[in-house]
């Protein structure tokens, strides 16, 4: 499947989320990685901070904190990291909008 010129939102800034974001960007997608934790919490872990810096250097937007529905604007694909429950409001809103959700 081609992701060229598609917009993807990846939920969960863990190993799986980082890998999914990198893969989608390499396939030509515009990618936003989002995590509910505050960015200062993410920055406390040097490995996580390094991943975030690498993603941003590749043009991937990283958003931390409250996951509002505005994140879904223009999104074609929502990718969930394994630890993210499908019952969270953002996932339900994505489904209601007809956005493809992949666990």
Is 14 domain-assigned? yes
Is 16 domain-assigned? yes
Q: What is the pTM for the complete model shown? A: 0.93
pLDDT for the residue 1: 74
Is 59 domain-assigned? yes
The predicted-structure confidence for 21-65, as pLDDT tens digits, reads as follows: 999 999 999 999 999 988 777 667 888 889 999 999 999 999 999
Containing structural domain, residue 66: 7-102
pLDDT for the residue 103: 86
Q: What does the alpha-carbon distance between residue 73 and residue 45 come to, in Å, rounded to a whole number?
A: 30
pLDDT for the residue 58: 96
Give φ, ψ of 34 to 5 degrees.
-130, 145
Average pLDDT of the chain, as a whole number: 93
pLDDT for the residue 100: 98
pLDDT for the residue 46: 86
Instruction: Report the number of distinct structural domains present in the chain.
Output: 1
Is 1 domain-assigned? no
Is 2 domain-assigned? no
């Amino acid at each position: 499947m081609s992701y060229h010129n598609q917009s993807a939102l990846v939920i969960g800034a863990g190993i799986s989320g980082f890998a999914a974001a990198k893969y989608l960007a390499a396939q030509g997608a515009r990618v936003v990685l989002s995590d509910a934790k505050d960015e200062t919490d993410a920055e406390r872990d040097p490995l996580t901070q390094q991943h975030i810096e690498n993603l941003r250097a590749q043009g991937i937007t990283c958003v931390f904190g409250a996951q509002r529905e505005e994140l879904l604007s223009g999104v074609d694909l929502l990718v969930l990291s394994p630890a993210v429950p499908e019952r969270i409001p953002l996932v339900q809103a994505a489904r209601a909008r007809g956005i493809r959700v992949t666990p």
